[in-house]
Amino acid sequence: MRLLLVTFCLALISCSTPRPTGKTEAEVLYKEAQDLMKESRYILATEKLNTIRSQYPYSFYATHAELLQADILFNQESFVEAAAAYILFKDFHPKHAKKAYVTFRIAESFFAQIPDTFDRDLSAAHEAVKYYQELLNFHEKSEYTKGGIEKIKLAQAMILNKEKYIGDFYFKTKVFDAARYRYLSIIDRFRNEPDLLAHSMIRVIESSHKLKEKEICTKYYNQYKEQIDQSQIKKLRSVYNNCVR
């Protein structure tokens, strides 16, 4: 009996809460969803937004509802779903006034998915770099670019370590053709990482030596001797001499 009384009282309180004012029902529903989101009542907020999309699909607030739904997913830390929702919004509304914000949230959604260690799937890191870079390239004056460069560096460091890890794994397990392919990829993609470049250039020639391909050793030595950090030139020359002797 007491439980029924409490439930009844709560229902009365809920019913007595005034609805937001608005010119249309869609606007009222949207404002209700906003208020519910601020209170972290995401399920109820989503229900309001779904009503807008189903009953008022051509309303001014239908587009707002799409973006607010993506924000709800982000706040719930459902970052895979949030990224998909923001990307869908961006694709359908390419000239929207909040395009910089949407691009930022896509980048943030992917960044939040980056694993703690580089030996796992880093596809999210690649996507985070892609969208942070887009934000910096096309919305450089936006408030959302703050911290973007630092996060790009963090994501790229993970990617870089992963690439080196894979190359070294192939080399240590004597799969030298695959190792050389991986090191060549690193050299092509990470031109601003002198230590990694030197390591990869040396390993390309070492791998070619293990594959008994003297002409390939000579080809890459002539190419790399002008590019490698000069502190590593002696080591490069040494592995090359081992290959061609």
Q: Is residue 198 part of a domain?
A: yes
CB-facing half-sphere around the CA of 245: CA atoms within 13 A: 6
What Å distances lie between residue 182 and 30, 168, 228, CA to CA?
Answer: 51, 9, 18
CATH number for position 97: 1.25.40.10
Q: Is residue 58 part of a domain?
A: yes
Q: Are residues 206 and 142 in the same domain?
A: no
Count of the separate structural domains present in the chain = 3
Per-residue pLDDT band at 191 (split at 50, 70, 90): confident
CA neighbor of 164 nearest in space, from 180, 191, 182? 182
Q: Is 41 helix (H, G, I), strand (E, B) or coil?
A: coil
Q: Are residues 93 and 108 in the same domain?
A: yes
pLDDT(54) > 80: yes
Could you report the per-residue pLDDT of 67-123, keeping only the tens digit for each? 999 999 999 999 999 999 999 999 999 999 999 999 999 999 999 999 999 989 999
Per-residue pLDDT band at 19 (split at 50, 70, 90): low
Q: Are residues 142 and 99 in the same domain?
A: yes
Q: Are residues 89 and 121 in the same domain?
A: yes
Enclosing domain of residue 230:
174-245
Q: DSSP string spanning 154-182?
A: HHHHHHHHHHHHHHHHHHHTT-HHHHHHH
55-66: average pLDDT: 95
Per-residue pLDDT band at 33 (split at 50, 70, 90): very high
Q: Are residues 72 and 89 in the same domain?
A: no
Q: Is residue 46 part of a domain?
A: yes
Q: Are residues 151 and 93 in the same domain?
A: yes
Q: Is residue 151 part of a domain?
A: yes
pLDDT(134) > 70: yes
pLDDT(218) > 90: yes
Q: Are residues 40 and 88 in the same domain?
A: no
Per-residue pLDDT band at 192 (split at 50, 70, 90): confident
Domain boundary among 56, 76, 96: 76
